[in-house]
Structure 1
Amino acid sequence: MTSLPDDTTLTDRGLDAQGTGRVLIIACGALAREILALRDKNGWDHIDLTCLPAILHNHPDRITDAVRAAVGKHRAAYRDIYVAYADCGTGGALQAACDALGVDMIAGPHCYSFFEGTDAFAAHDEITAFYLTDFLVRQFDAFVWKPLGLDRHPDLRDMYFGNYDTLIYQAQTDDPALTAAAKSCAERLGLAFERRFTGYGDLATHMRGWAARTSSE
């Protein structure tokens, strides 16, 4: 099995490309475990992974330039490059950049959507729900609690989350410890708790398509 850097490294620095594959996936650090699990499970040894820092999601205006730079850095070394991001708050800029670069990315507004399945997620229309994935449960303090200043000013909680009523944990794995941690996150935010097992959702579908396309060429 592939060894992973810790979540703090994936949040702050990302993951360098390693291996001798013919295909590279450029992804958000928040997806590293899921992508590597799918690669290992399916024996897609021709696929390498590099991840940008997951904390870029707190600065979506920086994502497009970071992806563009990563494609430029690695293009000469790989036959095919794919981008494992959805729009992720870039307002269409990332899709436009990927189109110009000639690389595929995942359709949809964000990872919450593609984990659950874009059509199913849209059908819920849950504007009062706050979502966490496996990675974001593990990194809740780094992504939510500390950046919003709630570690120093917990009284700000209602100002930030007063319009939410439920925390929905989209579980990629069956992990009782993560479920317990997600429940704790909901309690800290004063929200009701719901767990949905999504598995890898449309991420698996896209990776399967990328792997099949490459193997058939």
Structure 2
Amino acid sequence: MLPLETADAAAPRVLVIGCGALARELVELTRPLPHVDVTCLPPSLHDRPGGIPGAVRAKIRAGRASGRYARLFVAYADCGTGGLLDRVLEEEGVQRLPGAHCYESFAGRADFARLADEEPATFWLTDFLARNFERLVIRGLGIDRHPELEGMYFGNYRRLVYL
């Protein structure tokens, strides 16, 4: 998984390429690890997940071209790319977080599967989404301009899980 074995400043440098929605958590996790750098892509890529693989590839290639990093790691799950991100990572020889969504990464595979099986109509909420809900969901999906959309987007959810 994430190559964070040591806090030794002389350790080979690692670049973690992450989703901006995970930036706060990635920075906290890597703070005691001076050999790990974090760079993030805009969370808005989730609006059109087909752009994630190319953007990740560009960051990988820029990280390699810098000559600073012995290892790279991608802090994304599949995130709606339908396996396209995995193809890019296989071609580039880079690992990523396990799972289909960051929700699965946050909860852990077994707990995520259990929670999803218990209630398929679950709305998954992360810290990033909670802090940016008005901008990303209400305005981003047009609910502020078309309140009738609220029921279409949220009418089938029966449970909220904050991860």
**TM-score, with length taken from structure 1:** 0.66
Question: Counterpart in 1 of 2:121?
Answer: 128
In the alignment, structure 1 residue 163 sits paired with structure 2 residue 156:
yes
**Which structure: greater helix fraction?**
1
Match of 2:30 in 1: 39
Structure 1 residue matching 2:157: 3-state secondary structure: coil
Q: Name the residue aligned to 2:139.
A: 146
Structure 2: which 5+ runs fail to align?
1-11
The amino acid of 1:45's aligned partner reads: P
- 1:104 corresponds to 2:95: yes
Instruction: Find the counterpart in structure 1 of residue 130 from structure 2.
Output: 137
**Partner letter of residue 155 of structure 1?**
E
Paired residue secondary structure (1:89): coil
SS of 1:48's equivalent in the other structure is: strand
Q: Does residue 79 of structure 2 align to residue 88 of structure 1? A: yes
* Equivalent-residue separation in structure 1 for 2:110 and 2:99 (angstroms): 9
1:79 alignment partner, one of 46, 59, 70: 70
Aligned to 1:58: 47
Q: Find the aligned partners of 1:23 and 1:146 in 2 and give their Cα distance.
A: 37
Instruction: Look up the SS of the partner of 1:151 in the other structure.
Output: coil
Of 83, 86, 106, which residue of structure 2 is paired with 1:115? 106
Post-superposition offset of 1:121:
0.4
Aligned residue-pair number = 148
Give the counterpart letter for 1:146 in structure 2.
R
Secondary structure class of the residue paired with 1:154: coil
The TM-score with structure 2 as length reference comes to: 0.87
Residue 66 of structure 1, CA deviation: 0.5
**RMSD (Å) for aligned C-alpha atoms:** 1.2
Match of 1:28 in 2: 19
Structure 1 portions without partners, runs of 5+: 1-20, 171-217
Residues 58 and 143 in structure 1, CA contact (< 8 A), matched pair in contact too = no
Alpha-carbon distance in structure 1 between the residues aligned to 2:87 and 2:113:
22
- In 2, the alpha carbon distance for the partners of 1:159 and 1:134 equals 24
Q: Distance in 1 between matches of 2:114 and 2:77?
A: 18
State how far apart, in whole Å, the 2-side matches of 1:103 and 1:116 are.
23
AA of the residue aligned to 1:110: H
2: CA distance, partners of 1:61 / 1:103: 19
- Cα deviations by residue, 1:119-174 (Å, 9 ceiling, x for unpaired): 2101222320111111110011222111211111112111111111122211xxxx
Separation in structure 2 between the aligned mates of residue 96 and residue 135 of structure 1, nearest angstrom: 27
Q: Distance in 2 between matches of 1:161 and 1:82?
A: 34
